[in-house]
Structure 1
Amino acid sequence: MRGSLLVHGPTARVGPEERTHVMHKVWLITGATSGFGRAIAEAAVAAGDVVVGAARRPAGLDDLVAAHPDQVEAIRLDVADTTAAEEVVRDVVARHGRIDVLVNNAGRGMVGAVEEATDAELRQLMDLHFFGPAALTRAVLPHMRERRSGAVVQLTSMGGRFAFAGVGAYCATKFALEGLSEALAAEVAPLGIKVLIVEPGAFRTGFAGAGALMRSEALPAYDESVGPVRAGLSDSDGAQPGDPAKAADAILTALEAPDTPLRLPLGSDAADAVGAHLEGLRKELAAWEGLTRSTDFDA
């Protein structure tokens, strides 16, 4: 990535005097060419903000750049290349004066039993969903701390709260990002910086489309437990209940709220599943609380 920054769209530098009076936000959005990334970019543009869309193939944003040449630019970024984070953030700040909102959205799904997943597959997914977002977050924080404002939006999943058969590797990466982000939120709140963890359910984003999902090599032993998940994810593509445009609007609404939530599940399926999961946790804790408390030293 170093030395290979490719920019489409507005590149004029903003002088200090202009920075003081400009009221729009500057967004840096990864995975901005499709799915949630594209929807969030379009919502931010509609709000009058400036969007820097990052993607491995930035030409996918050419139409948005052409339609809004003063608001949108596209840059090339492979999120898994963590060495690129500081350069990208530095260049965006140099051109626009600041980054108000970082959206770590780039990602992909993976289906397969835990035993089926290889080290290479796990590391590839963790680079994309955890190490990449962590690097970009670290790169942007000094600029946000200096201004004592800003927001980091982490796109995880309802699978960042709980896991189920066939998506253990995917959920593990989202669990990791949620843990990091929960600690981050407590660290940066006194500095005027928000952290929003977005947990979508099933949305029509192309997540489960042909060629989009990583698939581990199947073992017959898991046909019963994982087989339906393999088939169901592909069959659901294009029929998911969630609307990405409405999700994007919800994210902007949450960020504008005086009391932005730490976690924002999106979709009725996510609300139902998260609620059921929390209730299950409460019941399990109650059932085993006596044994849990029995492990203290006697008073």
Structure 2
Amino acid sequence: MKNRIWFITGISSGLGKALAEGVMANGDFVIGTFRKKSQVEEFNHKFATTAYSILLDISEEKSIEENIKKVITKFGRIDVLVNNAGMGFVGAIEETSLKEVRTVFEANFFGTLKLTQTVLPFMRKENKGHIIQISSHGGIKAFAGFGIYNASKFALEGFSEALAQEVAPLGIKVSIVEPGPFRTKFAGDGLGLAENIIDDYSETAGAFRTKLKGVDGKQEGDPIKASKAIIDLIKSEKSTLRLPLGKVALMTIELKINSVRADIEANKSIAESVVFNQ
């Protein structure tokens, strides 16, 4: 299919920006979201014929509904939805307040869920569409100091895996993208930090916080190459549910698979022993 219409959240920087630029270069049309009015105006002036942007905070449910309705009225359809907008957050579980947890989940889970739910009726009407959920290798394996972020991405992966099964008979595809560390603002200005610091976690969550800040600008991942991989995924007739991106992501996911397999083997006889005798 040529000239797809992509709806991509969070295109101001990083992977979202690289993907929007790659999609336009590929000849498709981009509808992107920003959180600042000045960014919207600048983008729409620069890309008047190849793209369109809107002001959207995905943590605002009413705004999602209103904006999607306007987009459908103006453009008629959305062929590809990319839920890219979100936030990183570092802090031990005990260090993190419920207010901070809710902020992370509003951005990484509830906003994505609401946007997905809002777009789905229009995709069902067309009997086609592709939903790309930008998760993380941290959506498969958790790290000390990253637990709340991990939880939000685990939740994203959970509903997306179920959704893929629900919409497959309707002609709609779902893919979960799992990047490792990429050279974006994720570990810099875009990283949230728990306000409360507990010294007892200095060697676990504290060490992770220091490590993450230390790799900012040095990550292995190239956002431009990642955007090409996502565009190729959309073009493929045999797209997979999951798309890991980066060597670190592959290593992380393999570690998780091996850990789960080891636990299963260690407890197999116990698991089999708790059922009713036939």
TM-score, scaled relative to structure 2 = 0.96
**How far apart are 1:64 and its partner, in Å?**
4.8
User: Do residues 177 (structure 1) and 156 (structure 2) align?
Assistant: yes
**How far apart are 1:82 and its partner, in Å?**
1.4
* 8 Å contact from structure 1 (residues 196, 263) kept in 2: yes
Counterpart for residue 218 of structure 1: 197
User: Do residues 35 (structure 1) and 23 (structure 2) align?
Assistant: no
Equivalent-residue separation in structure 1 for 2:30 and 2:37 (angstroms): 13
Equivalent-residue separation in structure 2 for 1:62 and 1:87 (angstroms): 19
Letter aligned with residue 206 of structure 1 = K
Counterpart for residue 192 of structure 1: 171
* Structure 1 portions without partners, runs of 5+: 1-21
SS at structure 1 position matched to 2:177: strand
**How far apart are 1:65 and its partner, in Å?**
3.8
Counterpart for residue 222 of structure 2: 243
* 8 Å contact from structure 1 (residues 32, 61) kept in 2: no
Counterpart for residue 187 of structure 2: 208
User: Do residues 99 (structure 1) and 69 (structure 2) align?
Assistant: no
Counterpart for residue 9 of structure 1: none
User: Do residues 25 (structure 1) and 7 (structure 2) align?
Assistant: no
Higher mean C-alpha deviation, range 52-61 or range 156-165: 52-61
Equivalent-residue separation in structure 1 for 2:171 and 2:38 (angstroms): 35
* 8 Å contact from structure 1 (residues 114, 168) kept in 2: yes
User: Residue by residue, what CA displacement relative to the aligned partner does 1:19-76 show, whole Å, maximum 9, x if unpaired?
Assistant: xxx9411111111111111111011101111111112115336565444321111110
Partner of residue 235 from structure 2, selected from 248, 256, 260: 256
* 8 Å contact from structure 1 (residues 197, 263) kept in 2: yes
SS at structure 1 position matched to 2:251: helix
Letter aligned with residue 191 of structure 1 = L
* 8 Å contact from structure 2 (residues 141, 252) kept in 1: no
Equivalent-residue separation in structure 2 for 1:46 and 1:62 (angstroms): 21
Partner of residue 266 from structure 1, selected from 236, 245, 248: 245
Equivalent-residue separation in structure 2 for 1:53 and 1:80 (angstroms): 16
Equivalent-residue separation in structure 1 for 2:24 and 2:40 (angstroms): 13
Query: What RMSD, in angstroms, separates the aligned Cα atoms of the two structures?
Result: 1.4
User: Do residues 277 (structure 1) and 271 (structure 2) align?
Assistant: no
SS at structure 1 position matched to 2:87: coil
Partner of residue 88 from structure 2, selected from 104, 109, 127: 109
* Identical aligned residues as a percent: 44
TM-score, scaled relative to structure 1 = 0.90
* 8 Å contact from structure 2 (residues 43, 53) kept in 1: no
User: Do residues 127 (structure 1) and 106 (structure 2) align?
Assistant: yes
Equivalent-residue separation in structure 1 for 2:265 and 2:37 (angstroms): 51
Name the CA shift for 1:94/1:105 in 2 (closer, same or farther; >3 Å): same
What are the equivalent positions in structure 2 for 1:39-188 lying under 5 Å apart? Answer: 39-60=18-39, 64-188=43-167
* 8 Å contact from structure 2 (residues 80, 131) kept in 1: yes
Q: How many residues align?
A: 277
Equivalent-residue separation in structure 1 for 2:114 and 2:43 (angstroms): 27
SS at structure 2 position matched to 1:123: helix
* Structure 2 portions without partners, runs of 5+: none
Equivalent-residue separation in structure 2 for 1:110 and 1:95 (angstroms): 36
Letter aligned with residue 160 of structure 1 = G
